[in-house]
């Protein structure tokens, strides 16, 4: 059956980077991939068109799709809108609506980019870690939340960090299974020395570990994990953590790969349906200049082919194309060594198309 893909370019550099991935998708379809795609707006683009960051038309398309490919959302022009209609709310809403609780963010260093990292090449050479971030709970969604005025007239902002056992258990299973397919080491990151929510997190991970005796489970406080990620990142195989810690640690881990423009992600539900997007944002500072790195988005397309379309061969084909253009010395500005020839976003797309 023809697989349906929803494409949500979003805001800022979103349309530029998504366009490169779609060019590759077009070629794969021309070569026989049984898939079709349709565009819909999300984020600021959707707000501009429909007054909502996750409008009904987008909901309908994405619910019916087998997979969703997203660029990025957000921009300074939307930062003063009421919170419920801001672009970021649209992103949170689609994650929740599609039950995309498992966010996989692989930080893999392509050997050609060892010098692009701000860390010493020997610290990052051979790096291959997977961050499993819980995506539909935690302080991102916990109620109550808001800004209220106290009796003395002072305002107070408040959010609530919450996790239910069932939410922790299902992300623990995903994490252990991912570790089983890799080097069988799982580090659960928490702040159990201070926060009850993550004390429960730690307890459930320990409990679930009994079902995975072949996986070595360790625990680490998030502050230490942030330090260890830059001190000796290769000690990690799979890192599992909650929504907010995973957001922060994955941006940090991206620099181990040379640039945030290299870090793809898959956000999965319980049945293999997924949303695929680069881990970075809409990069307003370089939007519209055709200089963003499209590789994180292209690698997200590879994850889409692997996890939702179950097409390992084409997923590998896309990843090999990325490897090849890097071997050929093609670089966008964010990963270029001094003196290297810098390609635009669409020129990188040209090179990828040739390599595919």
Catalytic residue list contains 115: no
Report DSSP letters for 22-55, one per residue. HHHHHHHHHTT--EEEEE---THHHHHHHSSSS-
Tell me the closest approach of the beta carbon of residue 313 to ligand IPM, in angstroms: 29
d(CA 267, CA 68): 10
Among 47, 54, 140, 307, which one carries the catalytic annotation? 140
Classified as helix, coil or strand, 79 is coil
- By beta-carbon proximity to ligand NAD, the closer residue of 188 and 293 is 293
Of 212, 253, 260, 209, nearest in space to 234 by CA: 253
Of 135, 136, 156, nearest in space to 145 by CA: 156
- By beta-carbon proximity to ligand NAD, the closer residue of 228 and 347 is 347
Residues at the annotated binding site for NAD(+)? 75-88, 281-293
Catalytic residue list contains 151: no
- Chain centroid, CA 204 distance in Å: 24
Q: Is 255 in the site for ligand NAD (CB under 6 A)?
A: no
Cβ neighbors of 101 (< 8 A, separation 6 or more) are 134, 135, 136, 137, 167, 170, 171, 268, 269, 270
Catalytic residue list contains 223: yes
- In the shown chain, the binding pattern of residues 6 to 35 toward ligand NAD, with x for contact by CB under 6 A and - for none, equals -------x---x------------------
- By beta-carbon proximity to ligand IPM, the closer residue of 215 and 298 is 298
Q: Is 247 in the site for Mn ion (CB under 5 A)?
A: yes
Catalytic residue list contains 140: yes
For the record, the structure tokens of 134 come out as 């819980």
Given 9, 41, 233, 281, the residue binding ligand NAD (CB under 6 A): 281
- By beta-carbon proximity to Mn ion, the closer residue of 247 and 311 is 247
Using CB under 6 A as the binding criterion, the count of chain residues that bind ligand NAD stands at 22
Q: Which of residues 33-92 bind ligand IPM (CB under 6 A)?
A: 74, 88, 91-92
Give the interface segment with Mn ion, choosing from 37-45, 57-65, 243-251, 344-352 (CB under 5 A): 243-251
Tell me the closest approach of the beta carbon of residue 17 to ligand NAD, in angstroms: 6
Q: Is 279 in the site for ligand IPM (CB under 6 A)?
A: yes
Catalytic residue list contains 247: yes
Environment class of 248 (CB within 10 Å of its CB; exposed 0-12, middle 13-18, buried 19+): middle
Structural element, H or E, at residue 58:
helix 56-64
Give φ, ψ of 54 to 5 degrees. Answer: -140, 75
Pairing of strands 102-108, 128-134: antiparallel
55 binds, among ligand NAD, ligand IPM, Mn ion, none (CB under 5 to 8 A by kind): none
Length reported for the chain: 356
Q: Is 117 in the site for ligand IPM (CB under 6 A)?
A: no
Given 75, 90, 137, 274, the residue binding ligand NAD (CB under 6 A): 75
Q: Is 293 in the site for ligand NAD (CB under 6 A)?
A: yes
Given 286, 316, 340, 342, the residue binding ligand NAD (CB under 6 A): 286
Q: Is 253 in the site for ligand IPM (CB under 6 A)?
A: no
Of 91, 89, 85, nearest in space to 103 by CA: 91
Q: Is 344 in the site for ligand NAD (CB under 6 A)?
A: no
Cβ neighbors of 160 (< 8 A, separation 6 or more) are 139, 142, 143, 144, 145
Of 12, 40, 38, nearest in space to 278 by CA: 12
Tell me the closest approach of the beta carbon of residue 101 to ligand IPM, in angstroms: 13
Pair 183, 148: CB distance under 8 Å: no
Residue with tokens 């082919």: 305
261 binds, among ligand NAD, ligand IPM, Mn ion, none (CB under 5 to 8 A by kind): ligand NAD
Residues that bind ligand IPM (CB under 6 A): 74, 88, 91-92, 247, 279, 281
Residues that bind Mn ion (CB under 5 A): 247
Active-site residue numbers?
Answer: 140, 191, 223, 247, 251
């Amino acid at each position: 059956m023809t697989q349906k893909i929803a494409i949500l370019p979003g805001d800022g550099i979103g349309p530029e980077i998504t366009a490169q991935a779609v060019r590759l998708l077009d070629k794969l379809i021309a070569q026989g991939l049984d898939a079709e795609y349709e565009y819909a707006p999300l984020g600021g683009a959707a707000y501009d068109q429909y007054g909502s960051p996750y409008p009904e038309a987008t909901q309908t398309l994405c619910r019916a799709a087998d997979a969703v490919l997203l660029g990025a959302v957000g921009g300074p022009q939307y930062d003063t809108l009421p919170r419920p209609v801001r672009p970021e709310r649209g992103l949170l809403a689609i994650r929740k609506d599609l039950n995309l609780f498992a966010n996989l963010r692989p930080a893999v260093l392509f050997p050609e980019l060892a010098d692009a990292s701000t860390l010493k090449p020997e610290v990052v050479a051979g790096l291959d870690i997977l961050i499993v971030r819980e995506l539909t709970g935690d302080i991102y969604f916990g109620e109550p939340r808001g800004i209220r005025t106290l009796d003395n007239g002072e305002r107070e902002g408040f959010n609530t960090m919450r996790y239910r056992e069932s939410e922790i258990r299902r992300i623990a299973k995903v994490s252990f299974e991912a570790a089983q397919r890799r080097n069988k080491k799982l580090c659960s990151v928490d702040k159990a020395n201070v926060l009850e929510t993550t004390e429960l997190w730690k307890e459930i991970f320990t409990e679930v570990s009994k079902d995975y005796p072949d996986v070595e489970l360790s625990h680490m406080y998030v502050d230490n994990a942030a330090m260890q990620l830059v001190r000796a990142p290769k000690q990690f195989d799979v890192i599992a953590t909650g929504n907010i810690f995973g957001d922060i640690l994955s941006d940090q881990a991206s620099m181990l790969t040379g640039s945030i423009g290299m870090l793809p992600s898959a956000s999965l539900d319980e049945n293999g349906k997924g949303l695929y997007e680069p881990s970075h944002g809409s990069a307003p500072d370089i939007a519209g200049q055709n200089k963003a790195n499209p590789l994180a988005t292209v690698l997200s397309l590879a994850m889409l082919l692997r996890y939702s379309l179950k097409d390992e061969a084409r997923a590998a084909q896309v990843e090999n194309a990325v490897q090849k253009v890097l071997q050929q010395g093609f670089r966008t500005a964010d990963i270029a060594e001094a003196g290297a020839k810098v390609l635009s976003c669409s020129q990188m797309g040209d090179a990828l198309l040739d390599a595919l």
